[in-house]
Structure 1
Amino acid sequence: MKFQAPKGTRDFDPRSMAWRTFLVDAWRTVSIRNGFEQIDGPIFEQLDLYKVKSGEGIVNELFHFNDRGGRELAIRPEFTPTLARMVAAQANSLPKPIKWFCAANFCRAERPQRGRLREFWQWNVDILGLDSATADAECIFVAIDLFQHLGLASEHVRVKISHRETVRHILGKMGVGEEKMQAAFELLDRRDKIEPEQFTRAAGELGLDVETVDRFDQICRMKYPAGRLDLLREQIGLDDNLHDLESLDEQLRAFGIAEWCEYDLGIVRGLAYYTGTVFEMHEISGAERAVAGGGRYDRLIELFGGPPM
């Protein structure tokens, strides 16, 4: 019988293993020099841990099983729930802010596609216990530091940034009710993956008329350079409720990374737990999927029995 690697996985011969080691070493070097401490957790967790964060729908995306004691377990598809569990268990004894990173492999039971396999290695960088825009800007800075460490510059990578509350305010002004807000976020997150007619139809189902749908689509596709929030105000006619982006914009300039960044209100990252800043990082042509992404999730630790953080 002839055997081969399971679908959606890959083997690492000496040459490809050298590349993987080089990249993981770069993750570790950049993390440590920016003051982050390395952590890790088990490769499987209780299935309920992932349901707490993502709901029942996540089960179909996991490799899960019952152990000999009948306990429902799942191979980790990401690190955030493990991080939250670890922090919640010892939150009162940890010095703040908490700056942790993890470089590990994960598995998802989904259809393999270009740039997205069932088994993959991922770098996670998290700051907890700091509620200002400084934490958001620092996480973005660390990713940019990695790009620079690898020899890339701002003409190679673009950081696309938005803020959930700013987008929520704009959508509300356009007539999207609060009960349909999450559906609107999910539509924004999928806008480049569906046909224009499907986007228009879905936007109409949110209660938007044809003219507003066109305006909605236009706002989604506008880009505004960091440091020029005046352009955003002028082009979308929004004079208020930009204080969240103003705080972040100030920090991006203070960290010296504004030239890498632009505001793209179509970036919302559809996951419901994000509460503020969200971002994605793309190679400049936009031909490839995002190489990195993240955002603020202020209430996540509370979901796992920890204090507000």
Structure 2
Amino acid sequence: MAWENHTLNSNFILLGIFDHSPTHIFLFSLVLGIFTVAFMGNTIMVLLIYLDTQLHTPMYLLLSQLSLMDLMLICTTVPKMTFNYLSGKKSISLAGCGTQIFLYVSLLGAECFLLAAMAYDRYVAICHPLRYSILMSQKICCLMAVSSWVVGSFDGIIVIAVALSFPYCGSREIPHFFCDVPALLTLSCTKTLLFERLMFICCVIMLLFPVAVIIASYVRVIMAIICMGSGEGRRKAFATCSSHLMVVGMYYGAAMFIYMRPVSDRSPTQDKMVSAFYTILTPMLNPLIYSLRNKEVARAFMKVLGKDKSGE
């Protein structure tokens, strides 16, 4: 019986986050609006950086990868949630559930290491500007980006392989709007303590190690900014780094809250709200934070529109 629950014909039920009350209909419409802004914002960022040769630098290459990851992340959860809500069908197949788990775990892991790479890039640019072209060459930058994708995918493979090895029984109702691993574990017929410990170890590697790199980088950056003689240089350096720190704070705070707590201490409502923040809201905020505070991105956008006379 346990193995029968693992067939590809068996479905889970996603209970979702909204009902059909007027308040929830409004919130659902708001989520669709956020999704639209996030989809367009990240798509525009990727295209601008690809099309404008002046943005073909390590910082913007890493930023384009962040936008691509955010674009894929929001497309992993929201379209399925929208289809289930509008159609009234809440089921998701085992294969579909496994695909969601693999994609969002891989993307979350990849973003962790990519944000650390972006912090290192800012450290080199501010603390070692004369050696920047050597320490952050195109080859090294591409290696960092590819490594982020590879490490994230490896993490996704481990999690999905173990998570779907458990027998699931009972109502098979997942108290979430997508197949989140902690929510899925509550349906297991067997004890999952060993897997929870494995997840904690993965979180230490995927979250705390990059955070340590980010903290170390920005301690050096802040010290360098304080020692700068030029007020203009100090403001420019602070503006560049503050955008990245805002993204790091939002992303890592939510991820640690979700994945570094035991299943027994979880609240389905809290988990859904925090998950909505980092899988829906954060992908919208990232391109806005970087574009609104970045003159180079604004210039590239105006150039594409044909309104940048300096680019002629």
The structure whose residues are more often strand, as a share, is: 1
Q: With structure 2 as the length reference, what TM-score do the two structures score?
A: 0.26
RCO higher in structure (CA 8 A, sep ≥6): 2
The structure whose residues are more often helix, as a share, is: 2
